[in-house]
Amino acid sequence: MSTPFQVELQLGLTLTVGGQTFTIPGGQVKHLSVHMASHGFTGSVTFWTSLEKKDAPLFKAFSKPDLLQVRATVTALDPSLDTPPAPIVLQGLARSRRILADVHGTAQKEQRVFRRYTIEFADAAQVLWRQHRPVELHTSMSMGEIIDLHKASLQINQDWALLRQKRDMLCLGIGADTPEVSFYDFVLWYVDSNNGVFSYDNQKNEYLLADSKPSSGQAAALGRLRVHSVQVQMPAPIRHGSRVLNAVAEGPTTEQLDQPQAATGISHDVLLRTPVTDVAELRQKQEKARLQLRERQLQVSFKQFPAVDVFPGALIRLEASAWPKSFTGAGDDQRVLGLELEASATSEGQYDGQQAPSAQYEVRLSVRLESASDPVVTLPPYRGPRYPIHVEGLVHAPGGEPEDRRYLITEDEKTSVNSFHVTVPLWNKTVSVPAEPIHFPGQFFFPPYKNTRVLVALHLERAELIRFIDWKQGVRSPQDGQGDQILMGLNKLSQTGITHDFQDEKPVWRIHRTSQGDTQVVRMGEGHLFIQVKESPSGAAPTPTYDVSPQVEAAKGDLTAAVGGAIGQTSAAHQGAMGAVRAKIKASQAEAKTALKGARTELGSKVSAAKANIQASTSKMNQGVEQLSGAAAEAKASLEKLR
């Protein structure tokens, strides 16, 4: 628990609502409470206004449901500091607001009141994205482009190769039927699933999406004089390893991922079903990265306002010369992970501090520090989206007439995965689904025909054909005959039908083949077998034409898959190379820090030894001086006797 201390603060407060901007003098701010973290902040502020009329501009604007922007700055007025730290800046949106009025007489027959305003606010992503629940389907887009579509007024810096990779499909399934899941949850889930970083720079009011924590910046020295206490917090180590299991029947694999603190036999298993080796290997890398152990953290509470920057993301060094040698973290760079600040004015009345730019406050301030080399990312709690979502689609196959029963299967040259294509009319997007027997055993080949209505399950980056919704035209038998029918072929002029129904309550089975005017019929009924071959003169053979649309579409699909695969492979290689480079840089930095710390330790030991030698020499010299003084005194005494 942090200890309270008093300090003069200049609290800058600006409100923007309905196109109007209002500046509140710092002396009128009576309370400020802020919880800051690496991913954002929440806060509340309370202030009194001077005497207002009933129709005061701030009151009228504040009472409307317009979006309320809040900008607050916190500056400590400490004359003992030659270079004070940068002000803590909070820029966000109101989540709730309250007004309390205190009537204080009348002037010119108009009632005047003091008003006490309270605003609870947070960073824009929490306020806006937590109310955003889109359901969308996109094709040939990157996740970065989708985030840009939904960023509203947010400033977002995307420094992550993964976000630039084009995807065949991306589905946002965050509708109202998924309770408590918002776009904010989706972004955090996506970042966490891919071992990324989501952070917020409160000074710039900018978000960062990256593959690793930023490592630049110069650490400021933090002394002991303004610190009240430091607690070392040791996170609980994970006690499990991981296994990635690929359940594809033709080549099942189990990849064991160990970590040194895992208990024997304790594992987090991940189950996949993919024939694509690259997909399985990427998941193995992701799960391996999750096994990193979090380093210890420091909870620092202050008894004076600190002389260095302490907002999240700032770098601090517990200067070794100012702290005990054995102190945890001394001499190491620390990153501010979170900040807790509560400031209450010592004079809380509505009359106090009117129009004054600053006031005296009782403050509680503490920060949480993590090692600057700790790679583990801290994210707020979130709810993962529920996949899949289900929509209707129409099977896509090019060429022919709308009612023709064509089908199209494309093969990815790189992965050899076969796919059907389904158009989702709601978004007019076409997605690929695995070309599988669906509900039939493998000895049946009944591919879905063009424009067949199907139910499709949409995941984030893949789709599945769940079932068929309707019969094709001409397949359904009349109700009276209680019949069953299989209809195969291109259309009603070129097809073969197999029908079994009841006529006069007797079963009848027949095969009916049609090719323009050429027909063949085989019919079996009660006591008879009928076979007919017939060619109608009116059904002259048409001029043969050749529709190459299916081949063209298949070639386009193959080309798209090949190009997408090449781009994905290049992006993955680039991301891997960048990751390797960053890892080497971090390793070099860690080695340099270790060497520097060792050099400091060695230098400190040598300095201590030199000091000890000097002290020993000084002691011997003092002893010699004392002996010499004693001898001189004895000689002087002897001379006195001779006289």
Name the nearest CA neighbour of 362 among 26, 594, 32, 16.
32
Residues 292-315 have a mean pLDDT of 93
- Has residue 608 been placed in a domain? no
Which of the listed residues 468, 499, 523 is the one where a domain comes to its end?
Answer: 468
pLDDT given for residue 626 in this prediction = 66
541/424: higher pLDDT: 424
Asked whether residue 107 carries a pLDDT value surpassing 90, the answer given is no
Which residues neighbour 368 within 8 Å (Cβ) at sequence distance 6 or greater?
233, 297, 298, 299, 300, 336, 337, 338, 339
Residues 262 and 311 in one domain: yes
- Has residue 451 been placed in a domain? yes
Q: Which range (115-124, 580-589, 613-622) has the least confidence?
A: 580-589
Domain tally, the chain: 4
Name the nearest CA neighbour of 361 among 71, 75, 42.
75
pLDDT level of residue 551 (50, 70, 90 thresholds): low
Residues 418 and 560 in one domain: no
Q: Which amino acid is at 468?
A: F
Residues 317 and 464 in one domain: no
What is d(CA 79, CA 87) in angstroms, rounded to the nearest whole number?
Answer: 15
Asked whether residue 303 carries a pLDDT value surpassing 90, the answer given is yes
Residues 511 and 438 in one domain: no
163, containing H or E segment: helix 161-164
Beta bridge partners of 24: 13
What is d(CA 101, CA 116) in angstroms, rounded to the nearest whole number?
Answer: 6
Beta bridge partners of 250: none
- Has residue 620 been placed in a domain? no
- Has residue 528 been placed in a domain? yes
- Residue 425's domain is classified under what CATH number? 2.40.50
Q: 240, 306 in Cβ contact below 8 A?
A: no
Asked whether residue 545 carries a pLDDT value surpassing 50, the answer given is no
Query: What tokens does 55 get?
Result: 């129709």
Residues 451 and 522 in one domain: no
Predicted structure pTM score: 0.82
DSSP one-letter code for 27:
G
Domain that holds residue 460: 389-468
Per residue in 118-163, pLDDT (tens digit) is 999 999 999 999 999 999 999 999 999 999 999 999 999 999 999 9
DSSP E strands in 527-635: the ranges are 528-535
Residues 321-341 have a mean pLDDT of 88
What is d(CA 407, CA 421) in angstroms, rounded to the nearest whole number?
Answer: 9
What is d(CA 139, CA 280) in angstroms, rounded to the nearest whole number?
Answer: 23
Q: Which range (128-132, 320-324, 397-401, 429-433) has the least confidence?
A: 320-324
What is d(CA 68, CA 357) in angstroms, rounded to the nearest whole number?
Answer: 23
Q: Which amino acid is at 407?
A: Y
Burial of residue 337 (CB within 10 Å: 0-12, 13-18, 19+) is buried
Q: 236, 297 in Cβ contact below 8 A?
A: no
- Has residue 523 been placed in a domain? yes
- Has residue 602 been placed in a domain? no
37, containing H or E segment: strand 29-37
Residues 284-296 have a mean pLDDT of 91
Residues 159 and 235 in one domain: yes
pLDDT given for residue 341 in this prediction = 96
What is d(CA 286, CA 280) in angstroms, rounded to the nearest whole number?
Answer: 10
Query: What tokens does 312 get?
Result: 């999240």
pLDDT given for residue 577 in this prediction = 55
Which residues neighbour 482 within 8 Å (Cβ) at sequence distance 6 or greater?
501, 502
Burial of residue 516 (CB within 10 Å: 0-12, 13-18, 19+) is middle
Residues 530 and 428 in one domain: no
Q: 261, 293 in Cβ contact below 8 A?
A: yes
pLDDT given for residue 635 in this prediction = 64
**Percentage, residues of the chain above pLDDT 90:** 60
pLDDT given for residue 561 in this prediction = 47
Which residues neighbour 587 within 8 Å (Cβ) at sequence distance 6 or greater?
none
Burial of residue 599 (CB within 10 Å: 0-12, 13-18, 19+) is exposed
**Percentage, residues of the chain above pLDDT 70:** 82
Torsion sign across C-alpha atoms 563, 564, 566, 567: positive
Q: Which range (205-214, 509-518, 527-536, 605-614) has the least confidence?
A: 605-614
pLDDT given for residue 479 in this prediction = 87
Burial of residue 6 (CB within 10 Å: 0-12, 13-18, 19+) is exposed
Residues 324 and 228 in one domain: yes
pLDDT level of residue 178 (50, 70, 90 thresholds): low
Q: 362, 344 in Cβ contact below 8 A?
A: yes
Which residues neighbour 488 within 8 Å (Cβ) at sequence distance 6 or greater?
495, 496, 497, 498
Q: 201, 311 in Cβ contact below 8 A?
A: no
Taking the CA atoms of the chain, what radius of gyration do you get in angstroms? 38
Query: According to the per-residue pLDDT averaged within each range, which of 172-186, 546-560, 565-579, 593-607 is highest?
Result: 172-186
251/1: higher pLDDT: 251
pLDDT level of residue 544 (50, 70, 90 thresholds): very low
- Has residue 313 been placed in a domain? yes
CB atoms within 10 A of CB 68: 21
Residues 104-122 have a mean pLDDT of 78
Q: Are strands 227-233 and 206-210 parallel, antiparallel or unpaired?
A: unpaired
pLDDT level of residue 209 (50, 70, 90 thresholds): very high
Per residue in 48-106, pLDDT (tens digit) is 988 777 778 998 899 899 999 999 999 999 888 888 899 999 999 999 999 988 776 56
Query: What tokens does 110 get?
Result: 């108009």
Q: 124, 152 in Cβ contact below 8 A?
A: yes
Residues 490 and 456 in one domain: no
Name the nearest CA neighbour of 311 among 493, 123, 518, 510.
123
What is d(CA 323, CA 316) in angstroms, rounded to the nearest whole number?
Answer: 14
CB atoms within 10 A of CB 470: 12
Q: 312, 38 in Cβ contact below 8 A?
A: yes
Residues 601-613 have a mean pLDDT of 62
- Has residue 631 been placed in a domain? no
Torsion of CA 326, 328, 331, 335, to 10 degrees: -170
Burial of residue 90 (CB within 10 Å: 0-12, 13-18, 19+) is buried
Q: 241, 256 in Cβ contact below 8 A?
A: yes
pLDDT given for residue 571 in this prediction = 53
Q: Which range (289-298, 388-397, 445-454, 564-573) has the least confidence?
A: 564-573
Number of H helices, E strands in the chain: 7, 32
Region at 108 (left for phi over 0; alpha for psi -120 to 50; beta for the rest): left
Residues 146 and 176 in one domain: yes
- For tokens 């129709």, the residue is 55
Instruction: Specify the long-range contacts of residues 629-633, CB closer than 8 Å, at least 24 apart.
Output: none
Residues 512 and 576 in one domain: no
Residues 458 and 508 in one domain: no
State in Å, rounded, how far the first CA of the chain is from the last one. 79
Residues 453-466 have a mean pLDDT of 96
- For tokens 């025909």, the residue is 449
Per residue in 5-28, pLDDT (tens digit) is 999 999 999 999 999 999 999 999
CA-to-CA separations, 47 to 100, 111, 356, 419, 526, in angstroms, rounded: 10, 20, 13, 63, 95
